[in-house]
A and B are shown apart, each in its own frame.
Chain A
């Protein structure tokens, strides 16, 4: 019991929680934005992989870290455009298109990586983002090292959650996105172009997914290796449901999830004799449990997964 308290009382755990949560926050926001406009983007896993690769590659070739994030966002947006053409213009199955985008984005990412970086015994590394201590706040006892000594993308992710919550609920753009996701025909009768809104939401959302991936290679680790995204994209899709399609809840959901993940990582070192695979399963099982609890209660955008064709019902 005292072991558990020791873990909970360590600032290291809470600092890790924010670090683990960052890619989940960014990815969940990206998926959420797209779904609020009515389009499920299962390309997320591949887009995160590609973002992780291309952001890292840019920095490896001399770009600075922020340019790396920007390149990852553009890379993500590119695959978002592809997904938008397939699901909005052509109105194809969002499930299958998204899986196709994931398979393409990840394999294309691996291909480019292998082409540009020869096989080596130890993977090449870059100098990642360093933690920035927020003046004043970071010198608070416990809270300072736990929450206010993070790398810049973490602060960015939290800020983006607040901004997206504001945009969706308080601005005309947000209203247009929500209307398109609930009833694109009604939106069109109000002079909104549902196709354009969906394009915008998918592309912007995919850019966030790209940044989510790049956080892994530019801040959490310092090198790229295949399969490093490890299903985080799928967890984000589950978190969107858990968050009931609300950005502020997505932030909380990602933090809660990261708490369990950080906690199990530390528990692993304490509990001997339990196979480590059991601990690694927890995030996935937790996501499934969260889905089972929330799926019926969550308010799904009514036009989610329905293609919109002018004049067709």
Chain B
């Protein structure tokens, strides 16, 4: 048995791959649910109703999807240029804490129309800076950015922990390590009355369209793609490799930082070290499920959010550990990798 590269990639197959991958992941996760002694179909039914069953659960899913769209875009933009940014989690936290600090001390009292955009920029800048460090190490010392971005996640979270237990600590939080609350004027407007759903969702979707446009219609989009497909060839055809990677890193880190900023301004209002249930890491799965397509990221983020919110409810009523959501999401990444492979290769005997 061997694999042979396909001459043509059937369009229907390419479009169907994420669906096939998700179904495969759900099937394997179903085995795990069955092994736990629970009825599989009932469990999946509960995941669905737990996600879309009521207005409350539907808005919760959209709230969860918002940071995932942004961290997913962050990974997709970087991976397309073969910049392995696995540091989305750290960039998310740095964006979050930068916003909390700036709102409490720098921009307090400014009108929302000024303060919110300024804070979003601050959050994005913080994420950018954290990714430029590993990029510099790669360009200057040939250090693989996978390991450095991963290690910086731990540094960033410890840094946040230090600030919220120190200079930025909320004195009214009964000793709990959490940051001071952001200015009331900085909170993102709600999208729906009497819900937690905020305009961050619209911002994230709009950014997905912008990223899609930049990647498919601009010179920079072509250059970043070329940098990923064939760096040596790209340099020969006049692509400024270093500069392109710097821009890619600024966009990628900026998006992950923005995710943290929006999470603080839209949902929590302050920073703790459990602000993110791994949004940075899940963003990688989202990007891969979307096959690095910015618009696909929106759908993949919705799927991932569905799994997490639905599994919460299902786990409460059926006694299945919530970790089943993480298992399913990880499995869908692995099956997506395999499914994409089979759009490129076929089996020959």
Contact = CB atoms under 8 A, between A and B. Distances in A.
A230 interface: yes
B147 to A, nearest CB: 5
A108 B329 CA distance: 11
B165 A295 contact: no
Interface residues of A, number: 44
A292 interface: yes
A103 B323 CA distance: 11
A277 B162 contact: yes
Nearest to A287: B151
Main secondary structure on B side of the interface with A: helix
Nearest to A230: B154
A90, A111, A280, A291, most chain B CB atoms within 10 A: A111
Interface stretch (A5-13, A93-101, A215-223): A93-101
B162 A108 contact: no
Interface residues of B, number: 45
B177 to A, nearest CB: 10
B63 interface: no
A106 B333 CA distance: 14
Interface stretch (B119-127, B136-144, B259-267): B136-144
Given A111-B321, A234-B151, A291-B143, 12 more contacts: A90-B338, A92-B337, A99-B333, A104-B331, A111-B326, A115-B36, A115-B321, A277-B161, A287-B151, A288-B137, A291-B137, A296-B142
Closest CB pairs A-B (n = 3) = A107-B326, A114-B321, A103-B330
Interface of A: 42, 82, 86, 90, 92-93, 95-97, 99-101, 103-104, 106-108, 110-111, 114-115, 230-231, 234-235, 237-238, 241, 275, 277-278, 280-281, 284-285, 287-288, 291-293, 295-296, 309-310
26 contacts: A90-B338, A90-B341, A92-B338, A99-B86, A103-B285, A104-B334, A107-B323, A107-B330, A108-B327, A108-B330, A111-B32, A111-B323, A115-B320, A230-B154, A231-B151, A234-B150, A238-B151, A241-B147, A284-B155, A287-B151, A288-B137, A291-B137, A292-B141, A295-B141, A295-B143, A296-B142
